[in-house]
Structure 1
Amino acid sequence: MKNNSLFAQSNPDVNLKNFSSNEDVLDHADQKMRETLQELSYNPKLHPAHTDRETGQWVEEYLGRERWTSGFFAGSMWYLYKLTGDPFWREHAVQWTQDLESEAYNTSDHDTGFRIFNSFGNAYKIEEARYYFKTTLQGAATLAERYDPDIGAIKSWEWVGNYPVIIDNLMNLELLFWAAEVVGKDEWYDIALAHAETSLIHHLRADGSTYHVVDFTDSGIVNWKNTFQGYGAESVWARGQAWAVYGFTMIYRFTREKKFLDAARASAEYFIENLPEDFVPPYDFLEPEPSVRTKDASAAAIAASGLFELYTFTNNENYFNTAVEILGSLSSDAYMTKNSNISSILKRSTRQRGQGNLGTSYADYYFLESIVRYRELTNANFPVIQKESLFFLDQNYPNPFNNSTVIYYSIEEEGEVDLSIYNLAGRKVQTLENRFRSVGTYQIDFNASGLSSGVYLYRLKVNGRASTKKMILVE
């Protein structure tokens, strides 16, 4: 399969900046994440979002799995497992990820990508287990339900406007692009592409800055544009700008359409040109009131991760070096929570205007992801992680079925794959797959139109190995 890595990788030149303190950073992250587990009483039904400004602990009312932030803590544990190889982090990442399975069916907003791709998606990329694969695909199917072809976008929320689309939604397109690629589902790719094009037209300003929210009429005409989480309608919310840097770069990875690379560059240039000396932006670049002009470590962490990938497509050293400078600042005492009672890894994030100086699970997540990307770019060694055996043929679902069903299979060696349907007399009635496949897990949609009801066999063969299961077709 393609694009199973975290991002498009290449090796930077030796004259680029170094991030030299990451071992100490990982020790700190390990300590704070363990303290969080204790704070949560090791209950995997609780998913941190942000800390209380006074107590430093995670706010209880925002620990639910339905929150947009619920996938970040599980994702952070998967990153710690990738970075350290410590089975402790795998054990707990599995538990917190499994608790989110129901969110793959949550159609209430666009945040399925944040909840499912950050948890199940990262779990699959690291372990390639079938369970994670299937749940990630279900998340993609759920997200696709919120798409309106008349508007050309996925609806973000239900509680404001008529058809609001937010800049954050770019991030959730990765779930659709990735899922479309691994199963060959053009519909999901087309939905993600259409949304990306709509956002490119309406969220990105001529100077490279971005709007937070664009609301549409039912026919796709713009009602209004605003920046709710920033200072005002025409302001530049730093986290939204970071979503654009990261999002348009990721979209280019899947589409290779130059207009998205140009959008990523424009967003990045605005972000970088307006950074202060410590490379961590205020929550809104245009906030005029000093009393609420709080820093946003989350915007810095998101942008750093996006800039590392943008470097791989452009060879622009400024992108790489800016990301390293950001990591350096975030790793300093000014932003790390060393020797404090704050439960997060990083401090000084801002949720929205007037709600600054907090720790957030998403700042921590993208900070760890930035370290992963930095290490991958610089050819650092990662611990060897044992993966489960990949040769497996799942029971079709649903079964029994009427007309259509889904079959998943996994292979641990590349080779010529044959997946065919047989009747009980052993006669082949249909070939579903007859092609070369790389190592991985795959989904096949089987339409039984033209076949009579009854019991059938389906058989997977690759490189001399075979597996057979029964399926029941009912009318």
Structure 2
Amino acid sequence: GNGCTGYENIIDSLLSKRGDTVRNCNYTYRVCIDTSFISFFSNTFSSKEYTNERGNFRSVYLKGIGRIRNGWAELMNYCFDTLKGCVINGVLYGDTSTLVGINQLSTELPERFELYQNYPNPFNPVTHFGFRIAEFGLVKLTVFDMLGKEVAKLVNQQLQPGSYEADWDASAFPSGVYYYKLESGNFTETKKMVLIK
């Protein structure tokens, strides 16, 4: 949102130049204050930065991605939001691990690593993954399409030993067969799942 009830903040072209004014909604305007290229998600994108007429709000847009950063100030308080990850047209950018839920179900020390079959399976659009971690370390739970292309990174963090559950909302993905892989230390296991819409 952009603070204008009933309006979307759509900037579908990065043709504006420094100093150009963009009507944001019925009562506010944004001014383009910077045009450049930004390295973001390990890629380089054309970018535009806008501010409002009072200069207390800034937003950055990338071509092909959309808004990646907001910053605003009121009195002496400053707030910033930055896009951490997203999936656009089936392409994963950045880290989407915080876009899903991960819950520690038990701190009981498992004897071994385990990855359970997702449930429900087939699913539409949300499914759940259960897994056990036997020792502290970096844990990755990743989803791949049938071609082996990574489409979602559900977990990518240090976890204590225990039993966990992670969720994946596949609303933005087409029907088909997907694979999910759990990696931690020397342990790797992959399982198959089916998204039906």
TM-score (norm 1): 0.19
- Point out the structure with the larger helix share: 1
- Point out the structure with the larger strand share: 2
Greater C-alpha Rg: 1
